[in-house]
């Protein structure tokens, strides 16, 4: 969806609807980062996202502690 939004911004710029694409793409990127940040707070322990050490995956308590203290 993010890439589709950037392509739409570029097409609108080429059509002359948007004058400055810098602000539109910056807004789209900020929105993407905000949505990913909200989603990643609810991720369960897995082998694809986050720190994948054996002790992090073994305990839900350790996973939550590591997630809160990595930022």
**Mean pLDDT, the chain, as a whole number?**
80
What average pLDDT score do residues 45-71 get? 67
Question: Which DSSP helix (H) or strand (E) runs through 63?
Answer: helix 60-68
5: pLDDT strictly greater than 60: yes
29: pLDDT strictly greater than 90: yes
pTM listed for this prediction: 0.59
- Residue 8, pLDDT score: 92
67: pLDDT strictly greater than 70: no
Helix then strand then coil, in percent of the chain rounded to 5, is 70, 0, 30
14: pLDDT strictly greater than 90: yes
In residues, how long is the chain?
A: 71
CA gap 12, 45 in Å, rounded: 41
């Amino acid at each position: 969806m993010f890439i589709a939004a950037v392509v739409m911004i570029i097409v609108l710029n080429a059509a002359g609807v948007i004058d400055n694409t810098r602000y539109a793409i910056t807004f789209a990127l900020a929105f993407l980062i905000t949505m990913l940040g909200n989603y990643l707070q609810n991720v369960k322990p897995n082998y694809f996202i986050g720190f994948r050490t054996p002790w992090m995956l073994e305990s839900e308590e350790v996973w939550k502690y590591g997630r809160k203290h990595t930022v």
